[in-house]
């Protein structure tokens, strides 16, 4: 016959076992979240495209026919789409997308890394002027459609761009060249190799919707491709398994 004391002991053991199982389950879910992050975000980073090249920035008050400071630019495009596997309410929109906490992980042997936002005026996409330098962060606000010059991204999905530039790699001066082509072959003119201008950069990428915020850290090794041997480099990244988004508080 089971005494009342034994009954209480059995109940306590069962309660402890259930508590242990719950704690183990919570621990497993937490570990899974740390590894996988958010798996059902309403809007996802679907593609990153990196276009690399080089160009000469004319020096002021020079008597030479060609007198440039050479910049190597990496224009990085981000594409955000609705998740087809998640039902999205009409009032769920992208409020903003922000790039912040920009860190140079590995400095290049030549040049200085600077981050530029798109030119807000007409003409070329990027102008390497002080007014277009990115400070602590760069934010694109949700709008009816994407507009790089207005720093806007489609509230139902769209694209944005930023440029990571290696400035003042070297100088090129000449009176002999009949024509100068502004592409990565300029690196040869100043006898600079890709290895000398390589760098690594990291930054936080934050998608804010009308309901939640999601943040991931992105690392890029730049420039991509066989720059210098090729006129331009192009890389399209669609595998986002190494970019882990996690929900953060507003």
- Per-residue pLDDT band at 112 (split at 50, 70, 90): very high
Query: Residue 1 has what pLDDT?
Result: 58
Query: Residue 60 has what pLDDT?
Result: 74
Query: Residue 250 has what pLDDT?
Result: 58
Number of domains in the chain: 2
Is the domain of 94 the same as that of 11? Answer: no
CA distance readout (Å), 171 to 63, 107, 153, 178, 234: 15, 19, 37, 18, 25
Query: Residue 160 has what pLDDT?
Result: 97
Query: Residue 121 has what pLDDT?
Result: 74
Question: Which residue did the predictor score with more confidence, 188 or 145?
Answer: 145
Angle at 181 between CA 60 and CA 227, to 5 degrees: 110
Mean pLDDT for the chain overall:
88
Is the domain of 26 the same as that of 63? Answer: no
CA dist 53 and 184 (Å) reads 5
Query: Residue 218 has what pLDDT?
Result: 98
Q: Which of 127-131, 190-194, 220-224 has the highest mean pLDDT?
A: 220-224
Query: Residue 14 has what pLDDT?
Result: 78
Q: Which residues contact 78 (CB under 8 A, 6 or more apart)?
A: 45, 47, 48, 97, 159, 160, 161, 205
Is the domain of 32 the same as that of 53? Answer: no
Is the domain of 83 the same as that of 192? Answer: yes
Query: Residue 184 has what pLDDT?
Result: 87
Is the domain of 2 the same as that of 104? Answer: no
Q: What is the pTM of this model?
A: 0.85
Is the domain of 1 the same as that of 49? Answer: no
Query: Residue 35 has what pLDDT?
Result: 55
Is the domain of 143 the same as that of 193? Answer: yes
Q: Is 229 left (phi over 0), alpha (psi -120 to 50) or beta?
A: alpha
Is the domain of 152 the same as that of 175? Answer: yes
Query: Residue 46 has what pLDDT?
Result: 96
Is the domain of 22 the same as that of 99? Answer: no
- Is 223's pLDDT higher than 90? yes
Is the domain of 131 the same as that of 31? Answer: no
Query: Residue 209 has what pLDDT?
Result: 95
> For 10-38, what is each residue's pLDDT tens digit?
777 777 777 877 777 766 656 665 555 67
Angle at 249 between CA 244 and CA 250, to 5 degrees: 120
- Is 110's pLDDT higher than 90? yes
Share of the chain above pLDDT 90, in %: 56
Of the candidates 208, 123, 207, 198, the one whose C-alpha atom is nearest the C-alpha of residue 164 is: 198
Is the domain of 112 the same as that of 63? Answer: yes
- Is 199's pLDDT higher than 90? yes
Query: Residue 57 has what pLDDT?
Result: 84
- Per-residue pLDDT band at 80 (split at 50, 70, 90): very high
> For 33-70, what is each residue's pLDDT tens digit?
555 567 789 999 999 999 999 998 888 777 778 888 99
Is the domain of 3 the same as that of 65? Answer: no
CA dist 9 and 55 (Å) reads 79
Domain holding 12, by residue range, is 1-36
């Amino acid at each position: 016959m089971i005494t009342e004391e034994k009954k209480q002991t059995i109940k306590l053991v069962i309660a402890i076992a259930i508590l242990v199982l719950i704690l183990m389950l919570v621990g497993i879910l937490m570990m899974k979240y740390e590894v996988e992050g958010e798996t059902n975000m309403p809007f996802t980073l679907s593609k990153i495209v990196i276009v690399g090249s080089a160009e000469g920035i004319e020096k002021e008050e020079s008597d030479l026919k060609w007198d440039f400071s050479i910049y190597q630019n990496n224009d990085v495009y981000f594409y955000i789409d609705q998740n087809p596997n998640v039902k999205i309410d009409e009032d769920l929109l992208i409020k903003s997308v922000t790039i912040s906490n920009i860190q140079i992980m590995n400095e290049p042997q030549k040049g200085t890394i600077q981050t530029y936002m798109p030119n807000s005026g007409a003409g070329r996409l990027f102008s390497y002027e002080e007014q277009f330098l990115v400070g602590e962060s760069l934010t694109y606000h949700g709008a009816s459609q994407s507009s790089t010059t207005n720093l806007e991204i489609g509230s139902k999905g769209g694209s944005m761009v930023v440029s990571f530039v290696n400035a003042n790699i070297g100088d090129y001066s000449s009176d002999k060249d009949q024509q100068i082509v502004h592409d990565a072959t300029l690196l040869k003119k100043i006898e600079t190799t890709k290895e000398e201008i390589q760098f690594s950069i990291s930054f936080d990428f934050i998608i804010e919707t009308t309901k939640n915020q999601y943040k991931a850290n992105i690392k890029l090794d730049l420039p991509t491709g066989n720059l210098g041997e090729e006129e331009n480099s192009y890389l399209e990244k669609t595998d986002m398994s190494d970019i882990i988004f996690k929900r953060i508080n507003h």
